A and B are shown apart, each in its own frame.
Chain A
């Protein structure tokens, strides 16, 4: 018994050591720095809550928080709908289903920074060319207004991550016992009834996992934001991560940037924890 306990600790010590060094220690240090005036160089002094007081009047920060929330909300919903639809599609009896899985997953191979760069051309040039050709005015001037910047980011994110979410739903869809579907077929259930009463309740744990993954990844987005819109026009599409990077590293206000990071962390943690809590509760209810 002693021995077993010892081998457990041997196996997890490397992870504990490394996560303590690169996650737990920085979280504590970061909390501490947010009360100082550290600017990247030199000695720091305690200045109490003054960064947090300054945050209350920081319109740009508030705007990027609000933008990030709206973005996360919309993209989480669309991502899960698209991901689940793709999963239903590629688990059906199509001949091409294996090829399609690969196709839908392919965007994940390319990093967000580079995808943003490619999509920038598509939104600006190709959309404009299509708009001029078809006369649809909605295709002109993409990325030049806050609204088109917002939707462009949503489209890019959904396009990039839907394949990943699809894989998660595939896992749960494959776990549904075939007899259940067959007996529903014998009872004459419509596709909608099958989805609502059999598939949906059985893949509920999949919602918990993919909601958690999409929620936390949408909150953290930086690369796509930087290369697609660069925060423009006039910082209207700047998300929190970018706001923190700009504050800390471009204007060298490390400690002030860190106070934003602390607030951001608290918000993200609250959201993710309550999402997991409610989804778990719902799973039990179903």
Chain B
């Protein structure tokens, strides 16, 4: 019996170690590569090198990257705030308020989660072409154009409604007694109570916005408007590619999502758990 237990432990740790190595290895490769010269990276060198400063300088000379970090920051932050606010309004509305036909509308919103983005891309591009004609600052090749399709998402509406099921509704009654308006209840009671949910939604949305590639590729045309993934993709697809500087660009542009994740991660699992009950 004892031996059996020892065997079980051994296999468990063996499995754990193998899985952890598999999960860590690509990160290790990335970190090692930022210190290696382009030639060594293409040879698959797995040991740290001495080219960090050189790669770093090449990256800084790629001025378009600095600009793209700024663009991505503006886009990701405004997209995160807008879509979380608008979607949580609806998620809250669906769960707290009553109306005829409410479930029908909700199901239509859920259905829209199944539409692949590839199916919307062409008409959206044309729609923004029309918007460009009316208001050039809001159409094709603008940061606004990148954000607009994501100002609310079906996934977030679903996410907030599910989490709201655990929201103590007595708090609302108490707030009504105190004479708060419906919007006041939402802003002053719901949002502070649901911090965990907002944190989890914030992580998911920010990561999605920061890493989004296809739509910015379609809608942005001039390099000064490029977002980070577009610049990195361009850096990695020329005739002579300096892999060292690509790797270091990848490394540095991953830091913002990593910071957001590690700052909010305490709430993350709890927020996600609430979302699927």
Residues of A that sit less than 8 Å from B by CB: 4-5, 7-12, 14-16, 18-19, 21-27, 29-30, 33, 38, 86, 89, 94, 96, 100-115, 117-119, 121-122, 124-126, 128-129, 159, 167-168, 170-172, 174-175, 205-206, 209, 216, 219-220, 222-223, 226-227, 240-241, 244-245, 248-249, 254-255, 257-258, 261-262, 264-265, 268-269, 272-273
Nearest B-chain residue to A115, judged by Cβ:
B26
- Chain B neighbourhood of A26, CB < 8 A: 120, 123-124, 127
- B201 within 8 A of partner (CB): no
> Is the pair A248, B152 in contact by a Cβ cutoff of 8 Å?
no
A244-B121, A265-B119 known; A14 and B97 CB under 8 Å?
A: no
What total of A-B pairs shows CB separation below 8 Å? 247
- Chain A neighbourhood of B214, CB < 8 A: 222-223, 241, 245
Interface residues of B in 249-277 (CB under 8 A from A): 250, 254, 257-258, 261, 265, 268-269, 272-273, 275-277
- Chain A neighbourhood of B24, CB < 8 A: 103
16 additional contacts (CB under 8 A) given A25-B127, A111-B229, A254-B126: A4-B98, A9-B99, A18-B148, A21-B127, A22-B120, A103-B20, A108-B207, A109-B207, A114-B232, A125-B44, A216-B116, A241-B116, A245-B118, A254-B122, A261-B120, A273-B114
- B226 within 8 A of partner (CB): no
In the complex, A255→B19 CA distance in Å?
46
> Is the pair A110, B44 in contact by a Cβ cutoff of 8 Å?
no
Q: Chain B's nearest CB lies how many Å from the CB of A188?
A: 13
Q: How large is the interface on B (under 10, 10 to 19, 20 to 34, 35 or more residues)?
A: 35 or more
In the complex, A221→B99 CA distance in Å?
37
> Is the pair A269, B44 in contact by a Cβ cutoff of 8 Å?
no
Contact of B92 among A11, A96, A124, A206 (CB under 8 A): A11
Residues of B that sit less than 8 Å from A by CB: 12, 15-16, 19-20, 22-27, 29-30, 33, 41-44, 46, 86-87, 89-90, 92-94, 97-100, 102, 105, 109, 111-127, 148-149, 151-152, 154, 157, 182-183, 186, 207, 210-214, 218, 229, 232-233, 236, 246, 250, 254, 257-258, 261, 265, 268-269, 272-273, 275-277
> Is the pair B116, A265 in contact by a Cβ cutoff of 8 Å?
yes
> Is the pair A4, B116 in contact by a Cβ cutoff of 8 Å?
no
A11-B89, A19-B152, A168-B272 known; A220 and B118 CB under 8 Å?
A: yes
> Is the pair B127, A15 in contact by a Cβ cutoff of 8 Å?
no
A109-B257, A110-B257, A241-B116 known; A12 and B127 CB under 8 Å?
A: no
SS class, residues of chain B in contact with chain A = helix
In the complex, A247→B149 CA distance in Å?
22
Q: Chain A's nearest CB lies how many Å from the CB of B115?
A: 6
In the complex, A248→B218 CA distance in Å?
10
> Is the pair A14, B89 in contact by a Cβ cutoff of 8 Å?
yes
Q: Chain A's nearest CB lies how many Å from the CB of B225?
A: 17
> Is the pair B26, A122 in contact by a Cβ cutoff of 8 Å?
yes
> Is the pair A168, B229 in contact by a Cβ cutoff of 8 Å?
no
> Is the pair A8, B233 in contact by a Cβ cutoff of 8 Å?
no
> Is the pair B89, A29 in contact by a Cβ cutoff of 8 Å?
no
Q: Chain A's nearest CB lies how many Å from the CB of B112?
A: 5
In the complex, A104→B22 CA distance in Å?
10
> Is the pair B115, A269 in contact by a Cβ cutoff of 8 Å?
yes
**What 4 pairs across the A-B complex have the smallest Cβ distances?**
A111-B211, A11-B93, A125-B44, A8-B97
- Chain A neighbourhood of B258, CB < 8 A: 109
- Chain A neighbourhood of B99, CB < 8 A: 4-5, 8-9
Contact of B114 among A10, A19, A103, A216 (CB under 8 A): A216
> Is the pair B116, A258 in contact by a Cβ cutoff of 8 Å?
no
- Chain B neighbourhood of A19, CB < 8 A: 109, 112, 152, 154
- Chain B neighbourhood of A125, CB < 8 A: 41-44
- Chain B neighbourhood of A10, CB < 8 A: 93, 182-183
Q: Chain A's nearest CB lies how many Å from the CB of B264?
A: 12
Nearest A-chain residue to B112, judged by Cβ:
A23
- Chain A neighbourhood of B232, CB < 8 A: 113-114, 117
Contact of B90 among A12, A172, A219, A264 (CB under 8 A): A12
> Is the pair A168, B276 in contact by a Cβ cutoff of 8 Å?
yes
